[in-house]
Amino acid sequence: MHQFIGAGVAVTGSGSAAPSLSLDNVGLSQIVETSDEWISSRTGIQQRRLATPQETLATLATEASRSALAMAEVEPQEIDLIILATSTPDDLFGTASKVQAELGAVNAVAFDLTAACSGFVFGLVTASQFIRTGVYRKVLLIGADVLSRWVDWSDRRTCVLFGDGAGAVVLQANDRDRLLGFELRSDGSQNSCLNLAYAGQPRSLVGEHAIAQGNYQFITMNGQEVYRFAVKRVPEVIEKALHRASLSTEDLDWLLLHQANQRILDAVAQRLKVPSEKVVSNLARYGNTSAASIPLALDEYVRAGKIQPGQTIAASGFGAGLTWGAAIFQWGR
């Protein structure tokens, strides 16, 4: 295995999965005081997929993974590493190992990675390092979230935004390195802008000894601050990643942003002077699926024949943490 030191990285397959249950804006307006016009004009979202009580993060992640493995023509037992980027695991101890077992990827080590809506990009860079150093040759990277579990369905500021889904890619050692450049960033001083926070209550044990026990609160977000952050920081990080790749925006075939809000997608593309026909968007049908949004959209465009082998893509994730990052890569071997 270690003879692959200095190997390049290629993205050789993609897959995605979404729950069958769809809730459109008209249906949502029966839950909270809102309207299709209000949601569509402010976010670009028309509907979102929601996991049923029978569907789990693991089932969605496994379905997406099987599709990605099939496209890459890789058997599960050939996978060396599984990284599951998620903020909503079925088990706080991690869900990647459950996916490993479901797939029958008996030779793979598996772990979760948490970086919210930036998770897939952070995972892409992390997975690539294992391949580049020759430690592993075939990696399955999954981005999946079931945010409906943690949405306050009485809060119209947030419940209109989020949906559930999963996407996956297969990364393989390759003679030519298809990961051309990347840049990752974090700013914990803005952590309060977007939270899914633990809320503990003191509990006395013995004498003066006390601990905190509780649960997680619903998602809270300062929408205006997140918008300002994304519109400023995302173009910067993409330009830095392009610089590392010795490329410019004119060299891009596709701009693949985290599907958070159509206004953000439009504003970032405008700042980068990327024409709208090069901007990947399926936000209208899925909403914000956090770590799943980039691979889910990627898979849709690949299977529709829009993204072609050899084309150059700038992918950028941004969100809670606050975290953001960009990766420039070419699709296919």
Residue 254 near residue 307 (C-beta atoms within 8 A)? yes
CA distance 72 to 48: 28
| Per-residue pLDDT at 4 | 42
Could you give all domains of the chain from N- to C-terminal order, each with its CATH number?
A: 2-179 (3.40.47.10), 180-188+220-330 (3.40.47.10)
Exactly one of 117, 159, 174, 193 is catalytic; name it: 117
Residue ranges of the chain whose pLDDT lies below 70: 1-6
209 tagged catalytic: no
Q: Name the amino acid, one letter, at 253.
A: D
Phi/psi of residue 328, nearest 5 degrees: -105, 120
pLDDT score recorded for residue 223: 86
- The pLDDT value given to residue 207: 87
* pLDDT of res. 7: 84
Whether the CB-CB separation of 157 and 303 falls below 8 Å is answered with no
Please state whether beta strands 109-113 and 81-85 pair in parallel, antiparallel, or not at all (unpaired): parallel
Model pTM score:
0.95
- As given in the structure block, the two tokens for residue 64 are 């997406």
Model pLDDT, residue 6: 63
Q: What is the pLDDT of residue 3?
A: 41
Can 117 be counted among the known catalytic residues? yes
Active-site residue 174, yes or no? no
Local structure of 23: helix, strand or coil: strand
- Active-site residue, from 25, 174, 261, 288: 288
Give 39-90 pLDDT, tens digit per residue: 999 999 999 999 999 999 999 999 999 999 999 999 999 999 999 999 999 9
Average pLDDT, the chain: 95
* Residue the block writes with tokens 């503990």: 200
CA distance 203 to 178: 53
**Cα–Cα dist 274/265, whole Å:** 11
Other residues' Cβ atoms within 10 Å of the Cβ of residue 107 = 13
Candidate list 159, 258, 261, 282, residue with the active-site label = 258
